[in-house]
Homo-oligomer: A and B are copies of this chain.
Amino acid sequence: MPLITLLTDFGTADAYVGEVKGVLLSRAPSATLVDLSHAVPPGDIRAGAYLFSRTWHRYPTGTVHLAVVDPGVGTARGALAFAARGHFFVGPDNGLFTSVFHDTTVEVVTLPTPSDAAPTFHGRDLFAPAAAALATGASLGALGMPFQGMPERLAYTEPHYEGKSVVGEVVYVDRFGTLITNLTPELVPSYAVLEVEDLDAGPLRRTFGDVPTGGLVAYVGSAGTIEIAVRDGSAARRLGLGVGGQVRARLG
């Protein structure tokens, strides 16, 4: 049973996801479809790329990942299908797959636009047919010509040193209002103290259960980077902070 995951910014209120799934199941009737998320903020490639980076590698090899956050749909931006680490990927060439291109060899093809594709809905008319073809055993070579050059990658801000501090930033805010940062445990020794908006979040704890209800807490999150949370509350609301907000680890 081939597995196809879906990550989009289509939302789940409209018919778009249902139309895409109809195309997939008409062409790959035995496929199992799994939603990663359809609530990527409209056109937010960076948020989509973050969510995608956390999830795809949790799936078994052979899985086809269809990811469509595509503000440039219908323009000259490329359409890709590729294979990496035993998985298949289908979507626009706009940086959404940055985490996959990182440190791995990939085989990439350019997908042609079907003549009857709606210029505003390549998810349904271009990408879904390609994903269904891969799920039913088609080779990449049968889907398009080898891609020339380098697929798009997002540029990320790296943590940097400022005097006796390491300064990172918030890369994602989740449903619980937890601030997920780009600071890694290697950069934050056990004697360091975390600071956000001049508030002291203390040294790294194991989990938010290690502080009292309402307390600000820093810990290594489930994606492997430092997170700032409020126990049984929202750090984003408490601190008024969002993506791009600064987080500092004082080292002395």
A37 touches B12 (CB 8 A): yes
Q: How far is the CA of A58 from the CA of B55 in the complex (A)?
A: 28
Q: A50-62, CB under 8 A of B: which get 1 and which 0?
A: 1110111111100
A179-197 at interface with B (beta carbon < 8 Å): none
Q: Which of A's residues lie within 8 Å of B, judged by CB?
A: 1, 3, 5, 7, 10-19, 21-23, 25-26, 29-30, 32-40, 42-43, 50-52, 54-60, 71-75, 118-121, 124-125, 174-176, 206-210, 219-222, 227, 232
* Chain B residues, CB < 8 A from A40: 13
A222 touches B34 (CB 8 A): no
8 residue pairs of the A-B complex, CB under 8 angstroms, read A1-B30, A14-B51, A14-B174, A74-B210, A75-B210, A119-B209, A120-B219, A125-B222
How many monomers of this protein are in the complex?
3
List the 3 closest A-B pairs by CB distance, nearest first. Answer: A22-B58, A74-B207, A121-B222
* Chain B residues, CB < 8 A from A26: 58-60
* Chain B residues, CB < 8 A from A75: 207, 209-210
B58 touches A34 (CB 8 A): no
B119 touches A29 (CB 8 A): no
B1 touches A60 (CB 8 A): no
A118 touches B222 (CB 8 A): yes
* Chain B residues, CB < 8 A from A32: 25
